[in-house]
């Protein structure tokens, strides 16, 4: 794993589609079954081996995220924060994070996106290792008009990107997970706001596409991608997580377990975390996986 790989979780915006739930609380702090939403993208980055993570959030919610996650020390990683005072679009995250990125390769994940599936982690890690300046991940959807769409040839080389097309030849949506070289900062600075008044991630990706520097990864049938930006999708995600966890007896998006299994923290440190949750199912689960190691 590359030591200079960094991660960004974009958890800004006002979450207007989920109002009034988000009138006083960040969307990414809402529960998805038994965990705050942000635990899922955080776990995804950690599973990729990323130990230096920046959370971009609003001035209102920064304290709440710090209270929940802190500086990452309890997870054996480093977490820092940047305030986005105005929602200017996804590419604005790279401008805000320019000092954090420096000369590193960076993975950006949207704070309301959940990824789960067999071999997902290995595919993400392999994608980072590829010699490409930018990588996007595509997922087949039933209604492409709701998403940014990627068209590609038989070799899975992207040929055309379009934002929420009324009709499309492709059924593959671009998910909220992106990998870029550090030059993404300069490219983001070159963008002009769209008719919506925001910088568009499609415009950014088109820069790489025109330079033949855009790599496309297809997430297959065995992988689930959930966007939790609406009431319906938030509830669907909770039911999905609940069903899997109840059936398997394993948690999804549990950063403490990820940290422990990757040896970011040791047994004693995990025991310390379980004491905080000593009287609830979350703590009981952490105790269970620890006890299984010795049985």
What string of pLDDT tens digits covers the 295 residues of the chain? 445 899 999 998 776 778 788 778 888 999 999 999 999 999 999 999 999 999 999 999 999 999 999 999 999 999 999 999 988 999 999 999 999 999 999 999 999 999 999 889 999 999 998 888 999 999 999 888 888 899 999 899 999 998 888 877 889 999 999 999 999 999 999 999 888 888 999 999 999 999 999 999 999 988 999 988 889 999 999 999 999 999 999 999 999 999 999 999 999 999 999 988 888 999 999 999 988 876 5
- Report the distance separating Cα 268 and Cα 37, nearest Å: 27
Identify the three-state secondary structure at position 174.
strand
Residues 198 and 274 grouped into a single domain = no
Q: Answer for the pair 67, 21: CB distance below 8 angstroms, yes or no.
A: no
Residues 118 and 98 grouped into a single domain = yes
Residues 203 and 271 grouped into a single domain = no
Residues 130 and 272 grouped into a single domain = no
- Per the DSSP assignment, residues forming a β-bridge with 91 are none
What's 134's domain CATH number?
3.90.550.10
- Per the DSSP assignment, residues forming a β-bridge with 246 are none
Residues 44 and 145 grouped into a single domain = yes
Specify the pLDDT at position 74. Answer: 95
Residues 100 and 170 grouped into a single domain = yes
- Report the distance separating Cα 289 and Cα 257, nearest Å: 8
Q: Which of 130, 174, 121 is nearest to 149 (CA)?
A: 174
In a domain, 104, yes or no: yes
Provide the 10 A C-beta neighbour count for residue 116: 19
pLDDT, tens digit, for every residue of 110-127? 999 999 998 899 999 999
Residues 29 and 99 grouped into a single domain = yes
Residues 246 and 169 grouped into a single domain = yes
- Report the distance separating Cα 10 and Cα 160, nearest Å: 25
Residues 195 and 289 grouped into a single domain = no
Give buried/exposed letters for 232-264 (b at 16+ CB in 10 A, else e): ebbeebbebbeebbeeeeebbbbbbbbbbeeeb
Residues 271 and 218 grouped into a single domain = no
Specify the pLDDT at position 1. Answer: 44
pTM: 0.94
In a domain, 1, yes or no: no
Q: Answer for the pair 200, 89: CB distance below 8 angstroms, yes or no.
A: yes
Residues 224 and 289 grouped into a single domain = no
| Number of domains into which the chain is organized | 2
Residues 271 and 184 grouped into a single domain = no
Q: Which of 178, 42, 190 is nearest to 105 (CA)?
A: 178
In a domain, 49, yes or no: yes
Give buried/exposed letters for 117-155 (b at 16+ CB in 10 A, else e): eeebbebbeebbeeebbbbbbbbebeebeebbbbbbeee
For residue 295, the enclosing domain spans 266-295
- The DSSP code sequence of 33-51 is TTEETTHHHHHHHHHTT--
Specify the pLDDT at position 102. Answer: 94
């Amino acid at each position: 794993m590359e030591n200079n790989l960094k991660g960004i979780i974009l958890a800004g915006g006002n979450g207007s589609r989920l109002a009034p739930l988000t009138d006083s609380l960040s969307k990414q702090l809402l529960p998805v079954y038994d965990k705050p939403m942000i635990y899922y993208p955080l776990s995804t980055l950690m599973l990729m081996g990323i130990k230096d993570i920046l959370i971009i959030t609003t001035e209102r919610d920064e304290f709440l995220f710090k209270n929940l996650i802190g500086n990452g020390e309890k997870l054996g990683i480093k977490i820092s924060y940047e305030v986005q005072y105005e929602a200017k679009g996804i590419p604005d995250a790279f401008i805000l994070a320019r000092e954090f990125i420096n000369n590193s390769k960076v993975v950006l994940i949207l704070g309301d996106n959940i990824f789960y599936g067999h071999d997902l982690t290995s595919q993400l890690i392999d994608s980072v290792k590829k010699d490409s300046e930018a990588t996007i991940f595509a997922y087949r959807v039933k209604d492409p008009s709701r998403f940014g769409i990627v068209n590609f040839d038989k070799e899975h080389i992207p040929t055309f990107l379009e934002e929420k097309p009324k009709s499309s030849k492709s059924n593959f949506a671009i998910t909220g997970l992106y990998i870029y070289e550090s030059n993404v900062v300069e490219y983001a600075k070159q963008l002009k706001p769209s008719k919506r008044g925001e910088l568009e991630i499609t415009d950014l990706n088109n820069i790489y596409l025109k330079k033949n520097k855009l790599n496309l990864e297809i997430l297959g049938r065995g992988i689930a991608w959930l966007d939790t930006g609406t009431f319906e999708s938030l509830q669907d995600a909770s039911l999905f997580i609940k069903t899997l966890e109840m059936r398997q007896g394993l948690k999804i998006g549990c950063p403490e377990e990820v940290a422990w299994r990757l040896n970011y923290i040791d047994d004693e440190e995990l025991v310390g975390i379980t004491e905080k949750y000593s009287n609830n199912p979350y703590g009981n689960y952490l105790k269970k996986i620890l006890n299984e190691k010795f049985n």
